Structures are given as C-alpha cells and as structure tokens.
Structure 1
C-alpha cells in the first residue's frame, strides 16, 4: 500500500511560476501571432474582450493583467496560427471514420476551421460548401421535418445578441426545444435556488467579496475552474478572514496560492494559505455535512439563549423573511450525530470546528460548483446550503450571500434572454407583440429529455450553437450511435471536435468568428455582450483580423439559417439585425425592460452594468413571498445505496482543460502528468479490493437497466480520497453515466456520484 506522503498531490501552490509555465506551453503549442499578448492585455476590460473561458466577474477597478491561467489558455487556444482548411480532408488518413481514433486534444490541434463544410457519405469526408447553399439546404430540411422533432441546442459561449435571435428562430420555427449547456451543470441552481429564494442565480455582487468575513466552499475548485477567484480569496486572508472548504478531493487552489501579479511573491515564492479548514467528505455527503453545521448553530443558539447571551440565529430575519423554520429546526435537533458522521464521512469534531467559524463570522458567502449540483439530489444540496445561510441572515446583506460559480462565459446570460425550454421563463406575450406571430406555448425539451427522445428515434435534427454535445452528455456510446441516425445535424464551431465525427444523413459544420476577431457588418465593427455569474452585463469588441474571410459571426449564422427556414414576416428583420447589433440590443431591452434599461448606453461600464437580483434586496419571488427553509428527506444526495464492491465515482476536470476542450495532459495542481486514462482511489480501498497501484483496470456502471457501460484501459492511481470515493476525468468517464441518472428536479446529470465497480483488466 502506498505511503500517503508518496501520493501524487501538487508539490507547489496554485498560481506562481506554475501558471506562467502552463500558459507558456500553450503559447508554444498554438503559436499565435505576437499580437496575442496585446489581446490578453485587453481581456476583461472596458472596450476590450470578455474572457471566453469561465463566467467569473470583472472588477470595475481592473488590474493591468486582468486574466488568469485558464483565461489565457482559452485565448491562446482560440488565437492559434493552425488552420483546418478543406485541404485537411484530402489527406488519405483523414476520413471521418479514421478520426474517431484521434484524441480530443489532437482534433482541436488541427486548428481553426476556415470554411463551411458538408459531409459526403460517399467519401466519408467533409467538403467545402457555399454559405447560401448550406443555409438553403438546412432550411429546406428543417421545413420538411415535424416541428417537435428539431432541437436548438446552445453552449454557453454565444453572446446575448446571437442568443436572443437564436431563441427567436426556434420559436418562429415552432417549438421551445431550447436546451442549453446549463442543463448539464447549473440547471440545478436555476431550479433549486428559484424554489427556495425565488432567484435562479447567485445573490452576491463584487463588493460583497470585499466585505465578507468568511467563505464556505462546497464542491468548487477555483484553481482549475476560475483562477481569478483566487485574488479575492487572497485578499480575504490578508485582512484576517476565514475560508472553510468541503470537497472530496484536495484541490491545490484551495490550499495555497502565489499571486502571479505580485513581483514580490513571484521572486520570493511567498504563499498565501487559502483554506483554514479542509474537510474531505464523501462524494454525496454534503447534505449531512451541512445539516451538521446547522445543528451546531442551533445548539449554540440554545446555549446562548439559556445563558441570557446574544442569540446566534438571526431570529428577527428568520421571522420576517422565511418560512419552514420550525420543521427544519426539529429535523436538526432529532438527527443524531452518528447518522451525520456516517453519511458525511466527517467526524462530529470536524463539523463543530467548521461550525465555530461560521458562528464567529458576521458575514458569510457560501460558494459552490458542480460538486453540489451534479447529484440525484443536487437541488436538496443547494437548499441545505441556503438553510445554513438563512439561519444567520446571510442572504441579502453586504458581504454575504449565495455564490454559484458558473462555467461557460455566457451560460447565465443565454437563459436571461430566452434560451430556455420552459415557457414560464419567457415573456411570450411580449414576443407576440414585438414580432407578430404566436410563439408556441408547449414546454420544450431539456438536454436529458432531448437525448432520451433521440435514443427513441423521435428527434430528427439537432442545431448546435457551439459546443461538443456528443462528448459532453451522459451515455456517450449510445449517444454516438443515435446522433448519426438523424436527418440533419448543424454545428456552429471554431475547431473540430468529436461531435463532428458522427455525422447525420445531412451534416454541416459552420465556422464562426472568435470573440477576439473583428465582426465587420454593414454598419461597422460590432460589439457583443455577455452576462457573468454576478448578473453583470459587459460588452466585447474584437479587433483582430478574422481567421478567414469565409467565416461568419454566430449572429450572422443564426440569421442565415432563420431566413432560409422561417417564412418572411415584416417584423422579422433578420438582415437589419445582422447589419447592426445595437438593434438587437434594443429588442432585448423591449423584451426585458427591467433587466436591460439603457442597454446600449451602459454596456461598456467598467465591471459591467447590474441587471439586478430580487433576492439580493431580500425580495423573495417564491409563492410564499419568503425564503424557504427545506427539511431534508435524505441525508445524502446519491440516489442509490452503498453496496459491497460499489464505489462512488466523481468525474472531474484537469488543470489542462476547459469543459470538453483538452489543452494537454498536465494536471499539475493534482500532481498528475502525462495521461487522462487513470482512475484515482485511496490506498486502503486499493488494498481491500485486492488490486495494485499501477494496475490496468476497467470501471463498470453498477446500475441494472439493460445497458452495459464500461470504460477500459485505466491505470489505477493511489490518491488521498475518502473511503468508497473514486475519481476519473470528464468527459472520458461520461460513457459510464446513464442518461437516467440525474437530479430529480432539474434533470442535471449526476456526474459527481456514479455507482461503479472497479475490475481488473
């Protein structure tokens, strides 16, 4: 059995020279022009370009280098000098079938796509096609299909302008089948938070980061997923604040950090210790852990009341602003510590230590990521975190609140402007007034429903505004087979990805501009806008020469498809909107006047303009008009029982990737290098299972539904994890996740707790 000191964890802090080395490697591999450095200098600044990576906010008082390692990698990856021209497909070795053996990294390394492409089944290759020919063929096929059989999917990248018109296209076509990438990550937030506080998004703004006394982290990894967050964390520690982390995996970004923007820190290696406490709970153990924290608060309040001291619970806030308090308190009182310890994997002493920090802090921000959302009871995870915050009034006051950290740069904003399958989220009456047609009133399909319908042969076409859906969703092998049976697939893309390799009867790849490239239309270079995790709207304006004169903007592609698909109507002014994006922003303002007041005038404000959040003002848009305490029905979020030889698999991302984009094979913040074909397991579990570190193993999904799901060729790697919890990489492990394994309320796939067996071979 491996000695714990020999386990592969990062040997150094996040940030620092490691970040510089990581960025330099991507620069050396992608070889962008020297002006790429200038582009990085404009990143996340007024009249610059908002990061194409995550949705972390931009401070109004920005620094000279307002980007992180992940943002720089995403930018350099997009600005590569490599080009994937139509000539790529003339190589004898480059048939679509042959490319299925390529790694994700190698596919994207072919470079930026330069021409619209159409699949030729006779040659098993893509071939160049003219834009108008492509649009007309796509439109003709869409017109011939049953309206309900077509899905309009969007990744979280396209700006608000293109996203608004994309949702308009779908509704003018005749359905609300508008699933989006949030269906696979933070839809649990949209549904879960709405249920308990009446807001579908986080409640804090940038100034709250500067005022808080403590951060409580649950299942979020800023080191790999949102490194700019590390600067506010360092600032908190510098002023004496506390950080408490709950995560099954030790993530180096929450352990220590060297500020790469500080010459002194870089020269001396001065580290900032991030987490004051780091609790490695079991995968799926958050409900019990948070219940334990709440139990500590309640016991402390009882003791204070008995002693005549100041109360710990904010009873005035609870009385005025909440409902369900008494039932929740009773649950906390009657749940035994032994149950909490069993389900969380943490000791009573550890939870009491964390509870003391929460009680001592006047203002607390609860931070979470997909470690909470991607479970079968993910919405309950979120409700439990809200319970904890409500006990001491930590929502709707300065320095406190709920902070879900979003991934794609505009994943939140796309929902805001109408990319939503639920009609209750969209002002359909307003759309009818503006555009003169009757929008469909039947709810559309989310991702899980769309994939299930695809498996059943009911979906005939997918239009994808960005993304790599075949690789991103659960049940990959079934998805690959079903994807190719469709009548039509259309993918708006910048680079090759695995979804292109399973073409439908008609398949098109439509290359689009990157955000850093000038978007010249009839009225000049156009700006696009995005919404970050704090509900701030910011504009981007590119200045680089386009990768090719045969690529179009995302908005122009949307309107090109719309003109060929939807019957002409006077109010649908696709050409005018393409010529001048400010007209689209006027439409968004008319559709959502409370959120987008003076849109065109405010879009270049430093840090963005705030579209508002009722819960931030302690206005609760729930049926009860109050925030809701939730009494848990479960003490874990798994949706399955533990059993002999069954493990809880977490899928995770490396330091060298962004969602399904794989930059390389270094996961330096976990001390792992050279391969993604690994599975992490604690030494005690390896020994008990009769396995050996370094052994080749396979993972087999332990769900009986008539489908065999397994992933072979993995190297077993000893790692410090809780007993019974193992970890592997996303998206490779998606083949193990059944499409039916999802959050009960939102149907977000449960990628963070998959029941599997580990077998030799």
Structure 2
C-alpha cells in the first residue's frame, strides 16, 4: 500500500475506536441534547425501532447492541437538538444579514418551530398559520402552468410521503420530480440498468458473509456508511480479500477498531481492512479496471494452453452475456502503457490485484460517488460490470455489484415514483386507482431544472427537504436566477442557505423529524424506507416533537395538494394523512410484486427484500442479456490534462452529512478547525511553486468563458496522486459548471473538475 508522506496532514489511527466515541460526545454537548436522546439511539436501526436519517446502509436482522455509527449518531443528535429557531430569531435577523452566515452557523440555530412566510418589504420571515400557508400556496400553484413548476425532494422523505408527493405532481400535471439521486447515484440508475437491466445493486447482506474478495472503487465507507465496516471486518477475519481503488487514503478501508468490542477498544488492535490499496488518479478507474480485465484474460489464455480449461466463465458468458467478443477485442487493442498513464498505477500493482480476483471464487464489486460523479461515470460502471461478468460474479450467492447510496431513502423514493421519466412509473395503475390521465411528457431532472431556472422558464419550486441551492453546481448563476421565480416553498427541519434565496412569494414550512412521534387521527404513525440493498424497513418515532406547531412531511404535502387540486372522490388526502397504512396499501396496489403484504411485513427483521431480476440472472436489457460494454475512453474525467490544470476532487468531511456541517473536525484526514483548505501532495506543491500554509484561490478551467472562483484556501500537504487537488463539498460547488456531468445520467461530475490555482 502507498504510505502517506511524513510531512502531510493525515490520521494515524483507525476508523471507529475512541475517536468515533469522542466525535459523538462532542456533538452531544454541542447540540445540548437531553439524556433522553440515548433511548432513541438505543432503538436506532433495530427492528421495530427508528431508522437512521443518515446513510442508506442496510439494517441487519440481528442488530448489534448499538446499531448506529458515529455519523448516524451525529445525525440523530443534530435532529434532536434542544436549540430552537423561533419567530423571535427571524424578527432579530433580516434574510440579507443571514446570507453572510456559514452553513454550520445557520443550522446551529436549531429546529424550526413555526410556519413562516417571507415578507419582502421588511426582508424578514414572519409567522403564518398552516391554513393560510396552504391556501395561499394552492392559489399560487393554480395560477401557474404545472409544467413551469418543479417538485424537488431530498433523500430523507419516507416512502409514504414520496409516493404522495409524486402523485400530487402528476395529478397537478407534470413529471418535474428531480431528487437528490440526480446529484449522486443517478449514474447508477441509468448506467447500471443499461448493462444489467436493474437500476440498483444485486447484493444482499448475506452475500458479504460468503464472498471471497471485495473490490472497492471510489467509496469512503469510514465516513459515509461506517456500519458497513462491521460486515467488512467479519469478512476479513474469515479470509476474504479486499482491494481498494481510491485517490484518497480513507482510514475506514485501512483499519477498523470496533467500538463494540471491549478487547479492541482496550488494545486499539483493530482489523486491517484492505489487502491492497491503490491511489488511482481521479477518473482513472476505467483504465485500472481494463488493466484488471487484461490480466484476467492473459491468465485465462495461459491456463487454457496449459490445462485446456478456462478461468473465465465461458458457460455463463455464452448463456447470459452479450458483447463479449467486442469487449475482448478492445482489451487486446488497449496497451499497458496507456492503462498505466491514465490510471496512475504500475502494471505490477494491477496484476497483483487481478490475481486476487482470479483466485477468488466469489467476488463483490462495491462503488460510490467516486465512480458516479464523473463525465464518463456510466462507462466506469460498465467497466466494473465487465470485470464481474468475466467470471460469473453476478447472480449467484456471495457475488454481485453493490453501489452504496447516501441518503437513507434516496433509492426508495425512486422506487415509489419520484422520477422525471414517465416510462419508469406505473401510470396505467395510477390511472385506474385515481381516475385521471397521468402526464406522459418527460419531466426535468436536477441539471435540467437548473438550466430551466437560469433561462427563466420555471415559475415555482417546491422543495421537500434538502438544501438544493447549496448542493448544486453553478451556484452564482442559480442564486441570481432563483429570485426571478414567482413561488418558492421549502419544507425543512432546520435553517439552511436555500431558505435565504427566495422567489417573489416564499414559505418556510417546518416538519417533524423521523425520530419524533407522528400522531395522526388513527394514532402514532409508522413510516418506511428502502436501504442500499433493496430492503424495506419500518420506522417509528417516539420523541416529543420539537414544537407543537410542526406537521409531518406527509401532512404538509397533503395540505398543499388539497388546496391546489380540484376535488376527486378517489383522492382522499384526509384519510391518507389520518392513517399512513392506507398509503402503503396504495403503494402495494401500484407496485405489485415488490410490496406484497406491505403493512404486514414492514417490521420484518432485516427488512423485507423487494427483489431484483438481475440477481436471478433475468436481464431486463435491450438484448435480454447482461451487457459487456466497450469503453470509448480510459479516463472518466471528460477533459484532457494540460499544463497548470488540476483535477479537483470534492470531499465530505468526517463532520458532515451531505450539505449538513456538524462541525470543523475532519478527524479521519487530520484536518481540524477549518474547511477552507486545498489538499495537494507535497511534490505537487513544490512543482507549482507554492508552499504549505499559503492562501490561494481555485479558478474554473472548464474553457466555457465563464469565470468561477473560490478564494481563501490554505495549501495543505496531503497524500494524493499527481495532477489533482482536493477540497470540501459544498464549498467547491461554485467551480462546477452545470454542463460538467455524466453523459448518460447528467449527474454533476464533482469528483474530477478542471481547475487552476491562482495565488
């Protein structure tokens, strides 16, 4: 493994361990949580309990005593803070004043307590009743062409709320339903579906109990899904080999000390996770995977010459695959010199990794946004599927492809209708159930919605959670264009930057958190969500709501819809708000085969599996088979190297979840007290004529004539490949052009952004 240089900032300790406990304790004190939060944590991610609002990693049927990780605990502590953002706060602070605050400081004001309407004359948010807010929003929407409106959702909303939100949009008359998946894993939904027929991964949790090797690409388990470290640790202990490709050395895939093991905590003797760890160039994964495949093919040829048998699973390929000959011809035509150049890795390292693949009977491929957020991210997914198909490593126990999602229900929302693509929605069933003709015109995804807002074509934007304006590319243009809209509505739990940029008419509507009791006419309610491994889980909040004025997300969506849409005897908003089980009945009726006996099964330990045809080797692709693909490039970046041009990687710290900043400690990278850093390897710093501690700016080098710049970044030595720099998301989003996205899915390519350094 590559070792960090002595003069770089880095973290010498393992993931987990005492550092993790200290991180949780720090946020506990900061949020002024009551001791009762410990009871919520005890129930977190357990059957019949409360499902974490943080990552989407699956929940085991037999949970650990504490089935939460550092980031999951931080998310719960953040939601259950005792701090309150009341109307008095908004009376004291104008919106213009608040625009100068940092993301962290805005959210530190605590939970929103009252519905608010923006008053342009005083530049302040003023209280409004729920009835008035719903009536006024409904009147605004009725006055607009539905196709000029956008209904966005973040990944935290429940399946029940997401289903009704999508139904509301279609009853209203549009498919403009972008969501946070468009910014992270839409490349999976499009790219993976193209080659396997499934828009989601094929693995279930038990596959990690029997696999012989796991290959990681661009996924930071230690910070983004730490509970995944438990099955990884167990896999390593039984002899499974793990090979990691990532430009950044992430401690979670290096060493793990299990906080639930007294022996490991006392001795700090954790488990070495990765057998091999390669710092591939940003966007160099296609080249690296081609190198792996090239060596597999060479070993197959040698074995056949020697023993007249194949290493490659020819029977599987003959029966289940299409495009194999074209792919192998491409392998033969691709030279090692260009593979080494584009991957940044020597041939010997790639052959060593390929030997692990060849010697393993069962292999799982895991990837994250380090794969999906590139211009050719879809091709990278295709390349990884190529590798797995060579030896039949999809569709049998202990094998498969496993994208790791971020938000807790971002995958599930797409399952129940949050999609701009009408062909992915059971419109025939919706028509039968609700007596209307669903719109069949394709709607806008996130990038398309942004383009339309900048062009002045969008008149209203409703946001079900999230921090849209902070999460997207092209922030300067977007904030300027945002104020030209007629209506903006934000449903949220805490204040963030997106709430400070408003349309002519603007509302800020506070909702319950998932950990809080949701009491409706039929009693306490359950909500559900889908994890990364396609399992559905029920969740029950028990905590007293932060304010008596809060409403559930589902009730807010229904309240707006009721005031917007004409009466329809088959559309019963009041009944659905009163009993969420009725909404689950609708989901079951709309998606037969996936949600059968939904209400009876939602508390199944470990969740109930909604199924996956590709796991059964039923390939719902154009050819009816799993597709080998031929890459058109060895680089995922979508731009050429040039003197003075760097590939910018945007990072999340150990102290954040998406745009939510819990604090300024990125312990797992050794960066403390600040987020305004530019990470570069020491040799790169010297070549650029810079020095550690120097304050510089990053400037876009997209070549589109638009000036984009982020100032005030301190040069910080860090172990990275040559030719790249790294800095934090979302602070670097102003540098990402809206046009810089995956070719197939339009997912913003935030993991390899062309930039220059200005001193």
TM-score normalized with structure 2 length:
0.99
**Could you say what secondary structure the match of 1:641 adopts?**
coil
Matched, 1:33 2:44: no
1:539-579 deviations in Å (ceiling 9; x for gaps):
00111111111000000000000001111110110000000
Instruction: Name 2:64's counterpart in structure 1.
Output: 63
Matched, 1:133 2:127: no
Question: How much does 1:113 deviate?
Answer: 0.4
Matched, 1:236 2:235: yes
Where do 1:687-702 residues align within 5 Å?
687-702=686-701
Instruction: Name 1:292's counterpart in structure 2.
Output: 291
The whole-number CA distance in structure 2 between the counterparts of 1:36 and 1:357 is 45
Change (3 A) 1:25 1:3: closer
Are the counterparts in 1 of residues 4 and 719 from structure 2 also a CA contact under 8 Å?
no
Instruction: Name 2:49's counterpart in structure 1.
Output: 48
The whole-number CA distance in structure 2 between the counterparts of 1:46 and 1:59 is 9
Question: How much does 1:652 deviate?
Answer: 0.8
Question: How much does 1:31 deviate?
Answer: 1.4
The whole-number CA distance in structure 2 between the counterparts of 1:128 and 1:705 is 44
The whole-number CA distance in structure 2 between the counterparts of 1:159 and 1:551 is 17
Are the counterparts in 1 of residues 422 and 440 from structure 2 also a CA contact under 8 Å?
yes
Where do 1:190-201 residues align within 5 Å?
190-201=189-200
The whole-number CA distance in structure 1 between the counterparts of 2:724 and 2:234 is 33
The whole-number CA distance in structure 2 between the counterparts of 1:720 and 1:310 is 43
Question: How much does 1:428 deviate?
Answer: 0.7
**Could you say what secondary structure the match of 2:6 adopts?**
helix
Question: How much does 1:5 deviate?
Answer: 0.8
Instruction: Name 1:188's counterpart in structure 2.
Output: 187
Instruction: Name 1:643's counterpart in structure 2.
Output: 642
1:379-404 deviations in Å (ceiling 9; x for gaps):
00100000000001000111110010
Instruction: Name 1:526's counterpart in structure 2.
Output: 525
Question: How much does 1:309 deviate?
Answer: 5.3
Question: How much does 1:238 deviate?
Answer: 0.7
The whole-number CA distance in structure 1 between the counterparts of 2:385 and 2:160 is 33
Are the counterparts in 1 of residues 7 and 717 from structure 2 also a CA contact under 8 Å?
no
Instruction: Name 2:90's counterpart in structure 1.
Output: 89
**Could you say what secondary structure the match of 1:486 adopts?**
coil
Where do 1:427-466 residues align within 5 Å?
427-466=426-465
Are the counterparts in 1 of residues 4 and 10 from structure 2 also a CA contact under 8 Å?
no
**Could you say what secondary structure the match of 1:732 adopts?**
coil
Instruction: Name 1:327's counterpart in structure 2.
Output: 326
1:506-558 deviations in Å (ceiling 9; x for gaps):
11111000011111000000000000001100100111111111000000000
Question: How much does 1:477 deviate?
Answer: 1.2
The whole-number CA distance in structure 1 between the counterparts of 2:625 and 2:754 is 37
Structure 1 gaps, min length 5:
none
Instruction: Name 2:145's counterpart in structure 1.
Output: 146
Where do 1:524-603 residues align within 5 Å?
524-603=523-602
Instruction: Name 2:340's counterpart in structure 1.
Output: 341
Instruction: Name 1:205's counterpart in structure 2.
Output: 204
Are the counterparts in 1 of residues 91 and 125 from structure 2 also a CA contact under 8 Å?
no
Where do 1:415-426 residues align within 5 Å?
415-426=414-425
The whole-number CA distance in structure 1 between the counterparts of 2:331 and 2:703 is 35
Question: How much does 1:310 deviate?
Answer: 4.1
1:38-76 deviations in Å (ceiling 9; x for gaps):
000000111101110000000111111111111000000
1:592-646 deviations in Å (ceiling 9; x for gaps):
0110000000000101001000011111001211000001111111111111100
Instruction: Name 1:489's counterpart in structure 2.
Output: 488
The whole-number CA distance in structure 1 between the counterparts of 2:4 and 2:234 is 35
Instruction: Name 1:401's counterpart in structure 2.
Output: 400
Question: How much does 1:704 deviate?
Answer: 2.5
1:695-717 deviations in Å (ceiling 9; x for gaps):
01000000222321000010011
1:316-368 deviations in Å (ceiling 9; x for gaps):
11111000000101111121100100111000011001001111111111000
Where do 1:573-722 residues align within 5 Å?
573-722=572-721
Structure 2 gaps, min length 5:
none
Matched, 1:757 2:746: no
Change (3 A) 1:514 1:3: closer
**Could you say what secondary structure the match of 1:6 adopts?**
coil
Where do 1:366-381 residues align within 5 Å?
366-381=365-380
**Could you say what secondary structure the match of 1:539 adopts?**
strand
Question: How much does 1:3 deviate?
Answer: 9.5
Change (3 A) 1:669 1:309: farther
**Could you say what secondary structure the match of 1:307 adopts?**
helix
1:490-511 deviations in Å (ceiling 9; x for gaps):
0110000000111111111110
